[in-house]
Chain A
Amino acid sequence: MTSPRRGNPARSGSTALLGVAGLAGLLLVIELAPRLGLVDERFLPPASRIAAALAEEAGTPAFWTALTDTLLAWSVGLAIAVGAAVLAGIVIGSIPVLRSLTASTIEFLRPIPSVALIPLAVLMYGTELGSTLLLVCYAAFWQILVQVLYGVADVDPVAFETARSFRFSAWGRIRHVLWPTALPYVFTGVRLAASVALVLAITAELVIGSPGLGKEIAVAQASEAVPTMYALIVVTGVLGVIINLLARTGERRLLAWHQSVRGEVTA
């Protein structure tokens, strides 16, 4: 169980180092390409100028308001999607008739791109938070729902029947048999949805103009403030990395008891 992974800490150390080196290389390319005239400096300013613009942005209250707005839209949207999808997934997944009844509808609705709902969002909520939430919820919901359905389908029927014969209540069976089995799937769904929700939050802000980083990017674009625009784009990238890291760490911590994680992390 431990042997193939013994060298892990060292390896993960060098992986991190390689990651940092990769990032540094990217920064160097962005710094040099415009300076050497490979791309027009007006359209891609050197990394140092983007960094300067970022520092300047970070000094304005508007930036922090926008960041808060984006995080709010992301977290509330994700929370709604998680709540609704887990509930719907368990109900649909555990009732076979419902599962067959909804299967084609889910397959039909799932691939509809969230951004296609922008006109609807604007009609309902104008340029407010609600518009962003609608898109975020829609995109994140299906990611989680499908995982929950897989999770529920994965429940061992023997274990379930055993619980039944021990006269577990319906809630008890969900709580002690179904939920522990489905949980790793739920977390996978949440992790995927967390990234998707961020992308959609920023897209909505960018296109609709609801408050947040995306709107700031749009304003910077319209204002010919190119370094500021890239600075804000960098912020959204960093946010994505942080959210992914948090989701992974959270998943590992909360599922430490589960074999899928126990097999992966060996201390």
Chain B
Amino acid sequence: MRRLLAGLTAAVLAGALAACGTSSDSGDTTDAGGVDQVKVGVIPIVDVAPIFLGKEKGFFKSRNIELTLEAGQGGAAIVPGVVSGQFQFGFSNFTSLLIAQTKSVPIKAIAAGVASTGEAGKDFGAVVVKGDSPIKSAKDLVGKKISLNTLKNIGDTVTRESVRKDGGDKKNLNFVEMPFPNMPAALQDGQVDAAWVVEPQLSTIKAAGGREIASTFVDTAPNLTVAAYFASTTLIEKDADLVKRFTEAINESLTYADAHPDEVRTVLGTYTKIDEKLRSSLVLPKWPTQINEPSVQTLATLGAEDGIFTGTPDLEKLLP
């Protein structure tokens, strides 16, 4: 028995050493027969449906790109992942990209990501309250507790703008941070008076009797570009051809997704667990290929006003 134990220990040690050896090699971009291995950091939500659809349709393969989608939880890992070269490309909302830019993080947007539908009451993000809440419109939010998925980010800017446009004091809002999935329960429980949510939570809350009081993206700018695909400036300098091909493939994917909402709802079932009923009813965003520059400028100006950025964002450096 003791001999067995000694053997076992040796085996475990050998296994450990072997594992140490293999676990350290990651992050490969090598060409194999002219095909680029490309990893993209995305958040597994509705916004990135086009890239999943485009992969399925072969829009990337036809441009010699072998796409791996790394659906990380939350956007926090994506910017560092792109900068450190774990991912070649990433998906992030514009406020996060502007924040990164003011901190001189070497990244640049290379394609549009997702945009507001531009229709009040029919957008994919909004501020909602409980059905019996005394809050009737955005200005009633003043002094109230509002949940955001990330403090000092895009939700902050657009919610403040809705309040300002409705005649309220935008400085006097009480934001609390919590993940989107927790918001329906927090709202129901009265832990927050209002919640800034996106799909699919928006539909869930409305289905449970919640009321939408502000289409925040619509209030902030006409046809606001909410997010973009981006790359590190290093990659853009080093492999301009890959970036060009990727941008073309993304643009084709965005156009295709925008024209085929039914296929978007189907592809959602492959990388999320949103059930069929919810998938068929939720509000889809818009996927134009053009980044709406004035709307990004608005995000930058408003964010600077509210003190989200430490410096002044330089759009020249960030936009393609």
Contact = CB atoms under 8 A, between A and B. Distances in A.
Contacts of B41: 126-127
A129 B23 contact: yes
Nearest to B2: A180
B298 interface: no
A218 B180 CA distance: 11
B23 A223 contact: no
A208 B200 CA distance: 21
Contacts of A123: 80, 84
B105 interface: no
Most buried by B among A129, A221, A223, A256: A223
Contact of A127 (B70, B179, B275): B70
Interface in B231-281: 271-275, 278
B5 interface: yes
Interface in B58-94: 70-74, 76-77, 80-81, 84, 86-87
B47 to A, nearest CB: 11
Contact of A130 (B24, B45, B73, B201): B24
User: Interface residue tally of chain A, by bracket?
Assistant: 35 or more
Most buried by A among B20, B41, B80: B20
B188 interface: yes
User: Interface residue tally of chain B, by bracket?
Assistant: 35 or more
Given A42-B208, A127-B41, A224-B274, A76 B19 contact: yes
Contacts of A119: 80
A82 B208 contact: no
Contacts of B5: 183, 254
Contacts of B1: 254, 256-257
A215 B26 contact: no
A126 B23 CA distance: 12
B181 A79 contact: no
A225 B273 contact: yes
Contacts of A208: 72-73, 77
A219 B44 contact: yes
Given A40-B188, A224-B200, A224-B278, A125 B86 contact: yes
Interface stretch (A20-28, A83-91, A149-157, A162-170): A83-91
Given A82-B16, A254-B1, A224 B72 contact: no
A223 B273 contact: yes
Nearest to A60: B273
Contacts of A129: 23
Is the contact region of chain B dominated by helix, strand, or loop, or is it mixed?
helix
B26 A130 contact: yes
Nearest to B86: A126
B200 A83 contact: no
A130 to B, nearest CB: 5
A133 interface: yes
B23 A133 contact: yes
B81 A122 contact: yes
A224 B201 contact: yes
Contact of B272 (A175, A207, A219): A219
Contacts of A175: 6
B273 A209 contact: no
A243 interface: no
A228 B86 contact: no
A19 B5 CA distance: 33
B16 A209 contact: no
A223 B16 contact: no
A257 B180 CA distance: 54
A139 interface: no
A43 interface: yes
Given A222-B44, A223-B200, A79 B19 contact: yes
Contacts of B32: none
Interface string A75-117: 0100110111011000000000000000000000000000000
B26 A40 contact: no
A224 B73 CA distance: 15
A82 B200 CA distance: 43
A208 B70 CA distance: 11
Interface in B20-47: 20, 23-24, 26-27, 39, 41, 44-45
List of 3 A-B pairs having minimum Cβ-Cβ separation, nearest first: A126-B86, A83-B16, A209-B72
Interface of A: 40, 42-43, 76, 79-80, 82-84, 86-87, 119, 122-123, 125-130, 133, 175, 179-180, 183, 206-209, 215-216, 218-225, 228, 254, 256-257
Interface of B: 1-2, 4-6, 8-9, 12-13, 15-17, 19-20, 23-24, 26-27, 39, 41, 44-45, 70-74, 76-77, 80-81, 84, 86-87, 179-181, 184-185, 188, 200-201, 204, 208, 271-275, 278
